[in-house]
A and B are shown apart, each in its own frame.
Chain A
Amino acid sequence: MNTLARPVAALGRAILDTVFHLGRYAILSAKAFFFSILPPWRPRAILKQMEFVGVDSLLVVILTGIFTGGVFTLQIIYGFRRFSADSMVGPTVATAMTRELGPVLTALMVTGRVGSSMAAEMAAMKVTEQIDALTVMAAEPVKYLISPRIIAGIFMLPLLTAVADAVGVVGGYFVAMSKGLDSGQFVGRIQDIVIMDDVFDGLVKAAVFGFILTSVGCYSGYYCKGGAEGVGKATTIAVVVSYVTILVGDFIMTALMY
């Protein structure tokens, strides 16, 4: 009986844990949202996070964008040549970058850089009682720590994605040139085929990803347990959960948008 009951109990516990975390995550996100619209606002706290999420991620996002666009072009150029569809290389790269690769890869890179660091920072603040210190000083920690981070994520990710989109197409352009395409062939049909809605849909996705990676990072750190080990665990969880959520969320949003 016991051997039968144990796996069932484990399953039940896993489900209860999931529900518990989802509920607490939802409450924390709602609180963060609520506090972010409630005065007093702290524009400079948001600015600081914007610098961290946006400006400081610029280099890594540009590199990701250029190489993604480049390698994608490299891959499709051979296939497309067989159909003499050279002029479709540009539009394909541009569509892929704006709709999918730009938003998703930017989000994944920023998760690795920012989401993990937010989780670690939160967790460290938790274990060294800095969060308690905020509470005692009547400084609401969710408002002071989490709201600015989430706002920064929501606003910065679309902008980073726009940059990634642009440099991705540029990267693809240079690769295409090196493979003997004309610049007109590459650029010409982009304007016919790619529409601004592709870009905007991608940016909307990016904003959602920005919310996911910051809120998940903050959540896993804010509720971390244990000492140094807890900090490490919170970081890992933040990255893994953010990655999976971003990819699943991307699928759902794509299904809804197109």
Chain B
Amino acid sequence: MKAPEIRVKGLCKSFGDNKVLKDLEITLEAGKVNFIIGRSGGGKSVLLKHLTGLLTPDSGEVWYGDREFFRAGKREKENLRKSVGLLFQDGALFDSLSAGENVIFPLWYHRAMPEDKAKERALSLLKDLGMEGAYDHRVEDLSGGEKKRVAIARALVMEPGVLFFDEPTTGLDPILSTQVDALILEARERTGATVAVVSHDIAAALSISDRIHLLHEGRVLLSGTAFDFKKSDLPEVKAFLTGDEPEGP
């Protein structure tokens, strides 16, 4: 499956009495860089967990192209998952494995190819990301930025049609943040995948996104290009753009 459009319909989710997602509708455009922004507690990460199947919705649908994720059979769900890469905020690398083994892991687990071929691919990916020497390094010896690169390599190794980034620049210094933004664009170029970035980094959103979705109190307040956002009169959008609201996770 190459770069599908992702469509979320009527997604509702509550934790106890707290309604986090209220009948949320969103469309992530195929092959584009979609930013999902919003304040903390606006439901961004909950939405991401639904998109990646880590949470089950109270009601609503998540469509990958013409397939609905939560109604899919076991095997179909597995195939959908294999075509999705997710970069966790802190990388979520397996610290029992080396950097290279982390990158190989999906290939090894799904027995996608022989081990020597897999290693070849992992090495070339790491090289592209400027990490060629890190194959045998232990995860705990890597810096934050290096972890992120290895995690991106792991997300890319299955050549996914969809790439999710969870707060990719949070906690990184400005130079690293810029590098990561570049990595996001590069990843999209390499794979042609549908990219969705969950972030509150409005600067990155305005500079590298094709489309921005602003989440506010469990709903999408505004979807549009960076230009649409800049000229928007909505007070919430203005507040977000000028940074009046307290930010941070």
- Residues of chain A whose beta carbon lies under 8 Å from any beta carbon of chain B: 40, 121, 124-125, 128-130, 132-133, 135-139, 144
CB-based contact A129/B90 at 8 Å: yes
CB distance from A110 to the nearest CB of B (A): 19
Would you list 28 pairs from A and B whose C-beta atoms are within 8 A, ordered by A residue? Answer: A121-B96, A125-B94, A129-B88, A129-B89, A129-B92, A130-B94, A130-B95, A132-B54, A133-B88, A135-B53, A135-B81, A136-B52, A136-B53, A136-B54, A136-B84, A137-B81, A137-B82, A137-B105, A137-B109, A137-B158, A138-B77, A138-B78, A138-B79, A138-B81, A138-B82, A138-B110, A139-B106, A144-B109
Give the top 3 A-B pairs by smallest Cβ distance, nearest first: A138-B81, A133-B92, A129-B92
CB distance from B162 to the nearest CB of A (A): 11
Most buried by B among A129, A135, A136, A144: A136
Q: Is the interface of A mostly helix, strand, loop or mixed?
A: helix
List 18 additional A-B contacts (Cβ < 8 Å) besides A40-B111, A129-B92, A132-B54. A125-B94, A128-B95, A130-B92, A130-B93, A130-B95, A133-B86, A135-B53, A136-B52, A136-B81, A136-B86, A137-B81, A137-B82, A137-B105, A137-B106, A139-B105, A139-B106, A139-B109, A139-B110
- Residues of chain B whose beta carbon lies under 8 Å from any beta carbon of chain A: 52-54, 77-79, 81-82, 84, 86, 88-90, 92-96, 105-106, 109-111, 158
Task: Give the residues in chain B near A135, CB-CB below 8 Å.
Answer: 53-54, 81
Q: Is the interface of B mostly helix, strand, loop or mixed?
A: loop
Task: Give the residues in chain A near B96, CB-CB below 8 Å.
Answer: 121
Q: Provide the bound-state CA to CA distance between A144 and B109, in Å.
A: 9
Most buried by B among A121, A135, A138: A138
Task: Give the residues in chain B near A144, CB-CB below 8 Å.
Answer: 109
Q: Provide the bound-state CA to CA distance between A121 and B54, in Å.
A: 20
Closest B residue to A143 using CB positions: B109
Q: Provide the bound-state CA to CA distance between A121 and B95, in Å.
A: 10
Known contacts A138-B78, A139-B106; A128/B90 CB under 8 A: yes
Most buried by B among A125, A128, A135: A128
CB distance from A76 to the nearest CB of B (A): 45
Q: Provide the bound-state CA to CA distance between A133 and B88, in Å.
A: 8
Closest A residue to B106 using CB positions: A137
Task: Give the residues in chain A near B105, CB-CB below 8 Å.
Answer: 137, 139
